[in-house]
Amino acid sequence: MKNLMGATLIAVALITSCTMKNPLLVSSEAPYGAPAFDKIKTGHYKPAFEAAIAEGKEEIKAIAENPDEPTFANTIEALERAGGRLESISNIFFNLNECCTSPEMQQTAEDVSPMLTEYSVSILLNPDLFKRVKTVYEQREGMDLTPEQRKLLDETYRSFERNGANLSDEQKDEYSKLSEALSLATLKFGRNVLSASNAFVMNLTDDADLEGLPDFVKDMAAAEAKSRGQEGWTFTLDQPSYSPFMKYSSNRALREKLWRAYNTKSVGGEFDNIPTIKEILNLRLKIANLLGYETYADYSLVETMARSRRTVDDFLANLREKAYPFAIRDVDEIRKYANVNGFEGELMPWDFSYWSEKYRDEMYSLNDELLKPYFRLDSVQAAVFGLANTLYGLTFTERKDIPVYHPDVKVFEVKDENGRFMALLYMDYFPRESKRGGAWMTEFRGMSVRDGVEERPFVSVVTNFTKPTADEPSLITFDELTTILHEFGHALHGMLAEGTYHSLTGTNVDRDFVELPSQIMENWAYEPEYLKTFAKHYKTGEAIPQEYIDRIVEARNFLAGYACIRQLNYGTVDMEWHSLKSIPENLDVIAFEQEIVNRTPMMPSVDSAVFSPAFNHIFSGGYSAGYYSYKWAEVLEADAFSLFKERGIFNREVAGEFRDKLLSKGGTVDADVLFRDFMGRDPEPDALLVKMGMK
């Protein structure tokens, strides 16, 4: 105890001497202690990191050098709490670096990443600390621990083992250097993708080049041009710009230009990621080998539901075999339709969205231009919040007195039906040059209990939807409706979290389980009973016609085989990259990917067109050797949603069981046990095939 108090005094002195004006180093005065985004400047981050790292090291030193016998409280629990300030600063900085970055932010990321890696490694490779952890772990059977405490003990011990605690001193030094190099390489990868995306702009000044584009696409492009000080219409590689152009433009040459730009991001040129991929793969393999694993995939998959490379490979192969005939059928249908309608020559990838959209419109009388007026973003948001209220009793109140990090962001106070504060929810909808593409959920603070005080989560949902214009509000596509439901499912996983230890709460679960709570939410988008509650024309207020809803449901599995194989290709490429047993110096990244994709060919291969150099999920995100998990979780969610379909999609009893037995538990219980607790059995493997109409 004496050591711990001494460390605390030293830590306080370090923080005080660093600065009294740095908002990252003092308690926020905002409601609920929300991040003081209105006070945080880029220059605050690096000194805050330095001070927090020093504080964290003192806390770790006090644990490692504690003269008292190791116990769960003075070792495992103390270790869980150590570095709390650093975690808070990291959550703020790295989340904003994804959605509100700048050259200064990116430079700071490069500066602090080696510091953070060194800090992490200094903990995991600390022999005195590991000795104490191991002592507690070996006494676990005789200890009176709750299931949550036992899980924390097991996870803590495994974390040390998996991060080199049993290595020799020489190997530990090598591990440290490899880890530091890897953190910088992954940062570089993401920075290159963002820079390459922002570097391409297609500005059109001849209205003849706009043939086929609906008014909403032209209006958006005109607004983009105006914001850049350009004449005419400007298109970018952001999804709200790229995707509609590929669907609707009659100008095949321009479609090809845009498609090639999108599919060769970070291939060659100033922002080339080909060398970065090789570097990342090499570093990951060396780390895996050092820890006793043949491949990085073997190392990565130990902490998943799948557990092994063989299980994942078999899962992907089995689903691929069953889905591929349907994919070929889908592509043949589009090809025949295009030929019948005057298309000559070979159908290329830049033709597929265009002709499939026309085919979809003719088959189902369904297109984005028809549906978007019924999906005003404000109404969709209210409906998503309303669904959470119906299922879980949650209420959402906008708080304009809580600071946000960008004017586009809105923050909501979330409470349950008893008035208990559950979370703050930040919604960040629109694209900007400082934000990476895609959509994601993240946290500025996770759920935990510290000194008997509950700290509820601060959750963020980030998307890239169409911005409102001078003439129209933000209208989203049906696909974007499923996107917001997906990310909101992740948010619910975080907001409904219960538990004592942050490392075991919310989305801190097995990677191939984490997509279940998100993907299950997408199902409501296809439920007529739900759509009727909010889908109303933004001008007339007219409810979406029943025939439109019928078409949405009927078209649900349109191109399902094609989409499934496309997703499986992402997962397979990821697995093969991370199953390499050596990384040749002359590795041809483009040829490697194309060979894998061409095992199940659907469209002609195009030179230099690959997705790996811009595949943030696996090279700079958390899905290395884990992208398969989207399909894995689809099986789980298809099966789980069957219970809602059976007992009612708004059934509070089913929702309550889903919340109590699965959502709120986080990682306090193994994922396979959580699923069995909710469903009463193991997953049904064919559930996804049935859902996609393939069985």
pTM over 0.85: yes
Residue 198: exposure state from Cβ atoms within 10 A (0-12, 13-18, ≥19): middle
Q: In the prediction, which pLDDT does 5 show?
A: 44
Tokens 């924390």 belong to which residue?
152
* 433 noted as active-site residue: no
Note the Cα 70 to chain centre separation in Å.
37
Q: In the prediction, which pLDDT does 676 show?
A: 97
Interatomic CA distance for residues 457 and 16, integer angstroms: 27
Strand partners, 427: 410, 461
Amino acid found at 353: S
H/E run at residue 550:
helix 546-554
Interatomic CA distance for residues 306 and 312, integer angstroms: 6
Q: In the prediction, which pLDDT does 470 show?
A: 83
Interatomic CA distance for residues 211 and 209, integer angstroms: 6
**Contact, 597 vs 605, CB < 8 A?**
yes
Polymer length in residues for the chain: 695
Q: What structural domains and CATH numbers belong to the chain?
A: 2-166 (1.10.1370.40), 200-263 (no CATH)
Q: In the prediction, which pLDDT does 6 show?
A: 46
Q: In the prediction, which pLDDT does 695 show?
A: 86
* Farthest-apart Cα atoms in the chain, separation: 84
What tokens does 124 get?
Answer: 């995991």
3-class state of residue 587 by DSSP: coil
DSSP helix, strand, coil percent of the chain (3-state; round to 5): 60, 5, 35
Interatomic CA distance for residues 689 and 638, integer angstroms: 9
Interatomic CA distance for residues 497 and 90, integer angstroms: 21
Strand partners, 536: 543
Interatomic CA distance for residues 195 and 176, integer angstroms: 29
What tokens does 9 get?
Answer: 């005094």
What spatial distance separates the first Cα and last Cα of the chain, rounded to whole Å?
63
Between β-strands 458-462 and 233-235, what pairing exists: parallel, antiparallel or unpaired?
A: unpaired
**Contact, 381 vs 478, CB < 8 A?**
no
CA distances for 667 relative to 541, 676, 682, angstroms: 44, 15, 18
Q: In the prediction, which pLDDT does 16 show?
A: 52
Q: Which of 80, 357, 487, 515 is catalytic?
A: 487
* Helix pair angle (84-99, 42-64), 10° resolution: 150
Interatomic CA distance for residues 4 and 58, integer angstroms: 9
- Which runs of consecutive H residues, i.e. helices, occur in 622-661? 629-647, 652-658
Interatomic CA distance for residues 26 and 468, integer angstroms: 37
- Which runs of consecutive H residues, i.e. helices, occur in 42-83? 42-64, 78-81
Flag residues of the chain having pLDDT under 70: 1-20
pLDDT in tens, 403-442: 999 999 999 999 999 999 999 999 999 999 999 999 999 9
Residue 247: exposure state from Cβ atoms within 10 A (0-12, 13-18, ≥19): buried
Handedness of CA 30, 31, 32, 34 (dihedral sign): negative
Where residue 435 falls (left for φ over 0; alpha for ψ -120 to 50; beta otherwise) is beta
3-state secondary structure 252-317: HHHHHHHHHHHHCCCCCCCCCCHHHHHHHHHHHHHHHHHCCCCCHHHHHHCCCCCCCHHHHHHHHH
Amino acid found at 462: V
Interatomic CA distance for residues 237 and 209, integer angstroms: 18
